[in-house]
Amino acid sequence: MIIFVNHIPFNPLYFYTPSRFGFSDAAEIFVFLSGFAAALAYGRCFERAGMWLGTLRILYRCGQIYLSHLALFFALAAICAFGNQWLGGEDYIHRLYLGYFFENTSEAIAALFTLRYVPNFFDILPMYFVILLWVPLVWSLSRIHAALALGVSLLVYLGAWYFGWELPAEPAGDRPWFFNPFAWQLLFFTGFGLGAGWLPAPRADRGLTRLCLVFVLIAIPLGHEPTYQSVAFLGALRAYLEPWVDKSHLGVLRVVHFLALAYLMKRVVSWRPHWLEWSLPRWIARMGRQSLPVFLFSMALSYLAGMALDWSGREAFAVAWVNLTGLGTMLAVAGFLEWLDSKPWSNGKPVPATCPPRPRLAGADVWAGEAAVIFLAATPLLILAPGAGDSARVPLVASAGQPGETVYPSAGEERIEWQDGI
């Protein structure tokens, strides 16, 4: 939701989101939770199915991320082209820095598919794609010792700072990826380590709570641009700290600030856990369970919202209705996708006795069936809405019931086994 608000061009609400009042922002939340969710989704897969099949599942998810990135790019390129043609007055192509693509299309397409062309608006999914490819290696190192896996992640982060490791983002220039995966992987694998149990979550401690609170409060004037620009001392201090809060290379103070916020949020939720049972948090949680399609939808919607503000003006009422309508639409889409995940067409009816039983599948045969789905039956709908194509999945286990009888897992077990987090 914060990413949606921040990506609306010239959105006045941008100046009231968390990124304006501290060193870290929604990107840190996004990457950290991606690592945490990856540990829950793929760690169990590695343990049950083994390294090779676990890696295959990682590659499947990488394929979804890669194709989602391409689909998002072409969708937004089309939106910009239609905006220039129909609305006029604004050059939406150059506003989104897509001039190179439209002026050098044949070269840009080749670079786009090889991730050598990554425009600034489209950089978070390629970064996640690269980091996700490292998960099998880090998991292998953790089998020796969890400290080794996390230590390698830390060494890669330090190497990125010391040696200047970066990936090129544009064939025609020397611009690197805005999100440097060699640096951002540290936060991803921090979340992964907590999700996998490699790192213990800090316990409730008054001293640590006060320390985190003081750090977060001190960061507010140093993160709020109008404040530190109007006070000479704060402006000088901010300039000195700039390398330590650099976003592209995940400055150390950004990591510390995010972890302090995460710890404080954990204390708040532990203090009032019933807040999460209210209607709005439960609706927001649906967006988390449908994170990839909702993220893709929100990125396209944010640019359409910017066009709506260009048309209506940026007075307070227009800003409010455009932002609230967009957020409400995202919540509605998440609810609709979760409804599809519930397979409403099945109505809980058992398979008629006249239907031939499904073949018994277990162990490697189950994963062979999944591999066939991956490589032979993937469709754009499956790619963009991974939870929408669940009805044809093979059973996870077969039981020794009546002859010809196959027992399928309950809906809850299926969700735990198959649902991926971005």
In one letter, which amino acid is 417? Answer: E
Q: Are residues 236 and 376 in the same domain?
A: no
With 0-12 CB in 10 A as exposed, 13-18 as middle and 19+ as buried, what is 153?
buried
- Same domain for 380 and 273: no
Between CA 105 and CA 107 the distance in angstroms is 6
Residue with tokens 């990124």: 19
pLDDT at 131: 97
Q: Which two tokens stand for residue 92?
A: 């939406």
- 227 and 86 in a common domain: yes
What integer pLDDT is reported at residue 68 of this predicted model? 96
Is 204 inside a domain boundary? Answer: yes
Residues 22, 393: Cα–Cα separation, whole Å? 45
Read off the pLDDT of each residue in 331-343 and give the average, rounded to a whole number.
92
User: For residues 202 and 372, which has the higher predicted lDDT (pLDDT)?
Assistant: 202
Instruction: Flag whether pLDDT at 188 surpasses 80.
Output: yes
Taking every pair of Cα atoms in the chain, the longest distance, rounded to a whole number of angstroms, is 81
> Which one of 284, 299, 314 terminates a domain?
299
One domain, residues 27 and 167: yes
How deeply is 175 buried, as exposed, middle or buried, from its count of CB atoms within 10 A (0-12, 13-18, 19+)? Answer: middle
Residue 2: pLDDT over 70: yes
Q: Rounded mean pLDDT of 329-350?
A: 86
Q: Give a yes or no: residue 358 inside a domain.
A: no
Neighbours of 74 (CB within 10 A): 12
Query: Does 331 fall in a domain?
Result: no
Residue 6 lies in a domain: no
Residue 372, pLDDT score: 37
Residue 363 pLDDT: 43
Residue 343: predicted pLDDT: 86
What's the pLDDT score for residue 350? Answer: 58
pLDDT over 90 percentage in the chain? 67
Q: How far is CA 213 from the centre of its chain?
A: 27
Tell me: do 368 and 277 sit in the same domain. no
pLDDT at site 348: 59
The rounded distance, in Å, linking the Cα atoms of 271 and 265 is 10
Q: Which residues contact 96 (CB under 8 A, 6 or more apart)?
A: 76, 80, 119, 121, 303
289 with 141, same domain: the answer is: yes
Residues 247 and 114 in one domain: yes
Pair (289, 382) in one structural domain: no
Flag the least confident range among 150-164, 210-224, 292-306, 378-392: 378-392
Residue with the bigger pLDDT between 150 and 412: it is: 150
Over range 233-261, report the average pLDDT.
95
From CA 38, how far away is CA 382, in angstroms rounded?
19
**CA–CA dist 159, 18 (Å, integer):** 29
pLDDT at 392 over 90: no
From residue 350, alpha-carbon distances to 219, 401, 408, 417 in Å are: 58, 16, 11, 22
Write down the pLDDT at residue 88.
Answer: 75
**Which structure tokens are listed for 303?**
């640019």
| For residue 185, pLDDT beyond 60 | yes
Cβ-count burial of 393 within 10 angstroms (0-12 exposed, 13-18 middle, 19+ buried)? Answer: middle
168 SS3 class: strand
Of 104, 102, 86, which Cα lies nearest the Cα of 94? 102
Asked whether residue 120 is assigned to any structural domain, the reply reads yes
Residues 246 and 386 in one domain: no
Residue 391 belongs to domain spanning: 364-418
pLDDT digit string, tens, across residues 143-184: 999 999 999 999 999 999 999 999 999 888 889 999 999 999
Decide if 294 is inside a domain: yes
pLDDT digits over 79-119, tens only? 999 999 888 778 999 999 899 999 999 999 999 999 999 99
> Is residue 274 domain-shared with residue 405, that is, in the same domain?
no
* Percentage, residues of the chain above pLDDT 70: 82
For the chain, the domain total comes to: 2
Q: What are phi and psi of 176, to 5 degrees?
A: -90, 175
pLDDT at residue 385 greater than cutoff 80: no
pLDDT tens column, 261-312: 999 999 999 988 888 889 889 989 999 889 899 999 999 999 999 999 999 9
When mean pLDDT is compared across 189-193, 226-230, 397-401, the lowest value belongs to: 397-401
pTM: 0.79
pLDDT at 113: 95
Residue 343, in any domain of the structure: no
Mean pLDDT (the chain) is 84
What is the Rg, in whole angstroms, of the alpha carbon atoms belonging to the chain? 23
Are residues 287 and 370 part of one domain?
A: no
pLDDT of 384 over the 80 cut:
no
Residue that finishes a domain, picked among 299, 316, 345: 299
The answer to whether 42 and 120 are in contact (CB under 8 A) is no
**What local confidence, expressed as pLDDT, does residue 18 receive?**
87
Residue 308 lies in a domain: no
- The pLDDT of 48-63, averaged and rounded, is 92
pLDDT in tens, 357-370: 544 444 444 443 44
112 and 247 within one domain = yes
